[in-house]
Amino acid sequence: QVQLVESGGDVVHPGGSLRLSCAASGFTFNTFGMHWVRQAPGKGLEWVAFMHSGGHKIFYVEAVKGRFTISRDNSINTLYLQMNSLTPDDTAVYYCVKDRSPLVSWSDYFGFWGQGTLVTVSS
Amino acid sequence: DIQLTQSPSFLSASVGDRVTISCRASQGIASYLAWYQQKPGKAPNLLIYASSTLQSGVPSRFSGSGFGTEFTLTISSLQPEDFATYYCQQLYTFSITFGQGTRLEIK
């Protein structure tokens, strides 16, 4: 069955960095677009970043452009999110999300979500 | 960015009720809209995509409709497991956005 297991969440000081990982299994990873979505405590959902299956199309929400980098290693079925210059506004549960269908031209709807990893930015 | 506004933000209803949640887009998004359900402490789950297509495994009491800027999610007969928060989402542009959520609680 499909599994997405996030890791790397931690408590970090403002201005610090963190790298999240998402280990995928149960599907052909290199054929699906992947996303990071975050949810601040008690708040709604915010899409953060997308990487197409082949890595050629990448998009970010404006709030993280220039600070966050999404990447993937299709040889080990893993998605990453490098987060730099973190601020308290980045405090959230970060979800790794798989597109519903493979090999679409850009993004599909969000077909499967991991359980999330908590990032806390605090001094 | 395209803004999605859900109404109501909070809804109190009883088991067996028919409920409707609305989602209005700040500009036309054709049918590029989905609905997700999220229960406390859990990840969201896709219910409806392309405005009206039921995701595999989702009960038929859930339905979606709309085009352009006005969309609705309808639950025909509320079950105890349906009390949750619901989000709409648009994929029309490269900057994906969600509505603010509608919290559905037991009356």
Q: For B58-97, write each residue's pLDDT tens digit.
A: 999 999 999 999 999 999 999 999 999 999 999 999 899 9
CB contact under 8 A, A45 and B96: no
Place of tokens 């028919």: B18
Give the pLDDT mean for A99-105.
88
Using pLDDT thresholds of 50, 70 and 90, give the confidence band for residue A120.
very high
Q: What is the pLDDT of residue A107?
A: 82
Give residue B102's pLDDT.
Answer: 98
Contact (CB, 8 A) for A48 and A116: no
- Which residue does chain A place closest to B31, by CA atoms? A109
Position B96: which residue type? I
Whether B43 and A114 lie within 8 Å, measured CB to CB: yes
B55 burial type by CB count under 10 A (0-12 exposed, 13-18 middle, 19+ buried):
middle
Q: Supply φ then ψ for residue A45, to 5 degrees.
A: -90, 140
Do residues A53 and A31 lie in contact, with contact meaning Cβ atoms separated by under 8 Å?
A: yes
Q: B96 and chain A: CB distance < 8 Å anywhere?
A: yes
CB contact under 8 A, B49 and A47: no
